[in-house]
């Protein structure tokens, strides 16, 4: 073909593009990304785990999810880079969320993956919305080296900056290893599912190599380990459905941010009298009972959400509603270690008190405490330091605070359990209350030890002295006569009295002193 013939040959035109063809291409790509790799999804299901998108469907209101950066790619080459991120609603209220996708490179975190999380966290703070993270990841993406570690650092910094501004909830539904475990630890609440969720800083292989100890993944960092031993997990569930349902329930009790009140619901008046209460608590101070029964009688409809149910059981911390308003409840549990305070209970209650104070949730403290747990294990383990955390938390709290003394309240533990001296606004006591440095019998043994040793009948003398001590210093009205208790109430009137107190304190305001921050005895 000559040059002249080539000059006049008709040009071959590409098929013209149209909006419809571009839309079809986009829809096909979107569907493909959303469906994921069929084999990888099957493996995930085979492990008894849902995919990231299936989990978000359970968590969020139907059709509310708005995904961000769906087509983002990183070193994996796959769209989303192993994390599904965006925003949706729970019961119509906005939250921001990200769910790691184990079907893409084991959900490992690289730079692009981290940047998506950073964006969601920044938007959550900017809009004043809670953050929920769904963790299912093998950890840092080794191929990206220090950039993966840099990504984690950005997450941790944002969590600290968001702390006390918006609620942060971590849901662990798979592995969460190495530095990644610090993210759930920094959250306000952490959920875990048995058998599939594990958290640890160093895995079983490293533990075996360093110490020779052989443990499985679940023995090292399973849900029950963190729910009952370490205290890292706030809630432990048997399956993902019940876990994510409880996340929704928790969100219904929390404000969107620290500038808004928790959601309130109308609750009909008229059921304030609770005649069952006097029979729930034995008059004898050494008889056990379940404080949960008292809580159920005081709160609306007997319904409350207990935090750290299986850890430090000698104190109960729960969120509930009173008259439709959200409250935080802290109560000694006589069923466990007689309700004493120890290192774990002090830490548990302190963190809960600080969370409630940060988000404007009033505190109701139910007191029945014989003291701090004695022993070298406790002293060597920092009982003083950990007890000071709870003391600090209450002293710093500026929300409305109501104390109800059910039975005994002895020694320093009485002071720490939100006594009048550390700033409680309203102190109520049942007629069964005993507020003293120690119990009458112990006090007599200390104060009158010489007389008892010299007595011909020490048992009779002890009984006489105990009766006299109780009549003079431990009777129900001793603290009220000195202004340390506002009222001695009929136990059946507890709910009504607490409701009146909270209504009186609703508009409480306290200006914090000018300072950068205090120094919590960590």
Distance CA 70, CA 79 (A): 7
Q: For 318-330, what is each residue's pLDDT tens digit?
A: 999 999 999 999 9
Within this chain, do residues 236 and 292 fall inside the same structural domain, yes or no? no
The encoded tokens of residue 357 equal 């104070």
Whether 447 is covered by a domain: the verdict is no
- From 229, 277, 513, 303, select the one nearest 404 (Cα to Cα): 277
Given 154, 231, 293, 412, which residue is catalytic? 412
- Residue 223 is a catalytic residue: no
Within this chain, do residues 238 and 94 fall inside the same structural domain, yes or no? yes
Which helix (H) or strand (E) segment holds residue 149: the answer is helix 146-162
Last residue of a domain, one of 237, 252, 267: 252
pLDDT for 8 equals 54
Within this chain, do residues 190 and 311 fall inside the same structural domain, yes or no? no
pLDDT for 55 equals 98
Inform me whether the pLDDT recorded for 454 exceeds 90: no
* Paired residues of 316 in beta bridges: 331
Whether 263 is covered by a domain: the verdict is no
Distance CA 520, CA 511 (A): 19
250 — pLDDT class (breaks 50, 70, 90): very high
> What mean pLDDT comes out for the span 33-62?
96
Within this chain, do residues 360 and 226 fall inside the same structural domain, yes or no? no
Q: What is the CATH number of the domain that holds 241?
A: 3.90.226.10
Whether 6 is covered by a domain: the verdict is no
Whether 456 is covered by a domain: the verdict is no
Within this chain, do residues 83 and 47 fall inside the same structural domain, yes or no? yes
Average pLDDT, the chain: 93
Whether 334 is covered by a domain: the verdict is yes
Inform me whether the pLDDT recorded for 4 exceeds 70: no
Within this chain, do residues 149 and 195 fall inside the same structural domain, yes or no? yes
Whether 58 is covered by a domain: the verdict is yes
Within this chain, do residues 392 and 321 fall inside the same structural domain, yes or no? yes
> What mean pLDDT comes out for the span 372-395?
95
Given 82, 106, 178, 221, which residue is catalytic? 178
Whether 8 is covered by a domain: the verdict is no
Q: Which residue has the higher pLDDT, 444 or 181?
A: 181
Q: For 408-424, what is each residue's pLDDT tens digit?
A: 999 999 999 999 999 99
Inform me whether the pLDDT recorded for 2 exceeds 60: no
The encoded tokens of residue 8 equal 């006049």
Within this chain, do residues 237 and 292 fall inside the same structural domain, yes or no? no
Q: Residue 391's domain spans which residues?
A: 277-439+474-505
Q: For 291-316, what is each residue's pLDDT tens digit?
A: 999 999 999 999 999 999 999 999 99
Within this chain, do residues 220 and 294 fall inside the same structural domain, yes or no? no
Distance CA 317, CA 393 (A): 14
467 — pLDDT class (breaks 50, 70, 90): confident
Distances (CA, A) of 68 to 37, 115, 123, 173: 20, 11, 11, 22
The position carrying tokens 């709290």 is 397
- Dihedral over Cα of 159, 160, 161, 165: its sign: positive
Given 128, 154, 179, 381, which residue is catalytic? 179
457 — pLDDT class (breaks 50, 70, 90): confident
Last residue of a domain, one of 252, 286, 319: 252
pLDDT for 364 equals 98
- From 274, 465, 260, 246, select the one nearest 360 (Cα to Cα): 260
Within this chain, do residues 224 and 363 fall inside the same structural domain, yes or no? no
Write out the DSSP string of 214-277.
Answer: ---HHHHHBHHHIIIII---SEEESSHHHHHHHHHHHHHTS-SSTTSPPP-----SS----TTH
pLDDT for 500 equals 96
Distance CA 463, CA 59 (A): 61
Percentage above 90 pLDDT, the chain: 79
Given 256, 350, 383, 413, which residue is catalytic? 413
- Residue 212 is a catalytic residue: no
Q: For 253-274, what is each residue's pLDDT tens digit?
A: 999 999 999 999 998 888 789 9
Distance CA 182, CA 143 (A): 21
The encoded tokens of residue 67 equal 């995904």
Within this chain, do residues 216 and 120 fall inside the same structural domain, yes or no? yes
Number of structural domains in the chain: 2
pLDDT for 15 equals 62
The position carrying tokens 């009158």 is 448
Residue 73 burial (CB count, 10 A): 12
Within this chain, do residues 349 and 406 fall inside the same structural domain, yes or no? yes
Whether 28 is covered by a domain: the verdict is no
């Amino acid at each position: 073909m000559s040059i002249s013939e080539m000059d006049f040959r008709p040009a071959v035109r590409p098929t013209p593009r149209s909006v419809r063809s571009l839309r079809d291409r986009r829809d096909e790509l979107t569907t493909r990304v959303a469906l994921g790799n069929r084999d990888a999804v099957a493996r995930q299901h085979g492990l008894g785990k849902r995919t990231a998108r299936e989990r978000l469907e359970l968590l969020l209101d139907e059709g509310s999810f708005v995904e961000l950066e769906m087509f983002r790619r990183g070193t994996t080459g796959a769209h989303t880079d192993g994390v599904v991120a965006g925003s949706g609603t729970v019961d119509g209220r906005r939250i921001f969320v990200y769910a790691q996708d184990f079907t893409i490179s084991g959900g490992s975190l690289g730079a692009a993956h981290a940047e998506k999380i950073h964006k969601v966290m920044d938007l959550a703070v900017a809009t004043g919305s809670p953050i929920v993270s769904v963790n299912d990841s093998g950890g840092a993406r080794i191929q990206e080296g220090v950039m993966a570690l840099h990504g984690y650092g950005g997450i941790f910094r944002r969590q600290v900056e968001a702390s006390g501004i918006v609620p942060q909830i971590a849901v662990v539904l798979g592995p969460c290893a190495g530095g990644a475990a610090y993210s759930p630890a920094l959250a306000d609440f952490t959920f875990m599912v048995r058998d599939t969720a594990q958290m640890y800083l160093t895995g079983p292989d490293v533990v075996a190599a360093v110490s020779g100890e052989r443990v499985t993944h679940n023995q090292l960092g399973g849900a029950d380990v963190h729910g009952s031993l370490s205290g890292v997990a706030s809630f432990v569930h048997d399956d993902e459905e019940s876990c994510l349902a409880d996340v929704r329930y928790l969100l219904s009790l929390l404000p969107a941010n620290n500038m808004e009140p928790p959601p309130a619901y109308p609750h009909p008046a008229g059921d304030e009298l609770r005649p069952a209460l006097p029979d729930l608590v034995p008059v004898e101070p050494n008889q056990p009972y379940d404080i949960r029964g008292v809580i159920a009688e005081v709160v609306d409809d007997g319904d409350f959400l207990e935090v750290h149910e299986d850890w430090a059981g000698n104190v109960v911390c729960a969120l509930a509603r009173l008259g439709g308003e959200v409250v935080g409840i802290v109560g000694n549990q006589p069923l466990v270690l007689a309700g004493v305070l120890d290192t774990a209970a002090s830490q548990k209650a302190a963190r809960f008190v600080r969370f409630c104070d940060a988000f404007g949730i009033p505190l109701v403290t139910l007191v029945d405490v014989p003291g701090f747990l004695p022993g070298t294990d406790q002293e060597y383990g920092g009982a003083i330091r950990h007890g000071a955390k709870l003391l600090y938390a209450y002293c710093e709290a500026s929300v409305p605070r109501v104390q109800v003394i059910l039975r005994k309240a002895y020694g320093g533990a009485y002071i720490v359990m939100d006594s009048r001296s550390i700033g409680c606004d309203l102190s109520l006591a049942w007629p069964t209350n005993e507020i003293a440095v120690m119990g009458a019998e112990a006090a007599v043994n200390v104060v009158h030890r010489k007389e008892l040793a010299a007595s011909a009948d020490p048992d009779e003398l002890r009984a006489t002295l105990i009766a006299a001590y109780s009549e003079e210093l431990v009777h129900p009205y001793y603290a009220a006569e000195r202004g340390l208790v506002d009222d001695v109430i009929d136990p059946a009137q507890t709910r009504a009295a607490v409701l009146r107190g909270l209504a009186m304190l609703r508009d409480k305001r306290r200006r914090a002193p000018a300072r950068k921050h205090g120094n919590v005895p960590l």
